[in-house]
Amino acid sequence: MARNDLEVVALDRRAVELSVRIVSQAKPADLSLATPCAGWTLRDLLEHMIAQHYGFAAASAGRGADPGSWPQDRHDDPVAAYATAAEYLLAAFAEPGTLQRSFVLPEISPTLRFPAARAISFHFVDYVAHGWDVARSLGLPFGLDDDLARAALQVATRVPDGPERLSPGAAFAPGVPAPPGATTVDQIVAALGRSAAWPG
């Protein structure tokens, strides 16, 4: 097992734990707030993040191709449900043998199988982006450690930026230019189709 395979699991854990800390600050009245994800309220975003945690956990156990593994539930308390889903996901990725498996991720392809470390890197960059989304929606600082930001930028800049990003349900919008003097986080979100100046 390559050292950087283990590193991506650790990086993902830290990004998810940061997202839990940010999400935990949301109040019921905040769930109707707009987010950098076009057309999504904070509740919509949290429900998506919950579903992705359960879906990736299922994919790590070989069940990613089952549509039921990616639940589209509505939760009475999505903030609490998010913490539960994150804990479930982190436990799944920590299971012995996870890094020797392959993942089916139907949002990318219903047939391709991705090596575990690569699939977990997708989850990692997604939760850096979504952690930023939630923080920006709530008007909170996004305290991403420098090493996490550098690693996430490496993954974000490798995400193909072609016409598929315009398709319905695409994981990311087309990339946008980063502003002059952009921070590493600004560069990450720009590569993933978000304006670092949102909501401006």
CATH number of the domain within which 109 lies = 1.20.120.450
In a domain, 137, yes or no: yes
The structural domain count of the chain equals 1
In a domain, 196, yes or no: no
Give strand ranges (E) for the chain: 102-103, 114-115
pLDDT of residue 142: 96
In a domain, 23, yes or no: yes
* Positions in the chain short of pLDDT 70: 1-3, 162-171
In a domain, 189, yes or no: no
Identity of the amino acid at 176: V
Q: Given the structure tokens 């950087």, which residue do they identify?
A: 4
In a domain, 172, yes or no: no
In a domain, 171, yes or no: no
pLDDT of residue 165: 58
Pairing verdict, β 114-115 and 102-103:
antiparallel
* Structural domain of 89: 3-144
Kindly report, residue by residue over 85-105, the tens digit of the pLDDT: 999 999 999 999 999 999 999
Can you list the pairs that 80-85 forms with residues at least 24 positions away whose Cβ atoms lie under 8 Å?
81/46, 81/50, 82/19, 82/20, 82/23, 82/46, 82/49, 82/50, 83/20, 83/23, 83/24, 85/49, 85/50, 85/53, 85/54
In a domain, 12, yes or no: yes
Instruction: Report how far residue 127's alpha carbon sits from residue 21's, in angstroms, rounded to the nearest whole number.
Output: 12
The predicted model scores a pTM of 0.92
In a domain, 160, yes or no: no
Question: What separation in angstroms does the CA of 137 have from each of 45, 47, 90, 180, 197?
Answer: 10, 15, 25, 23, 12
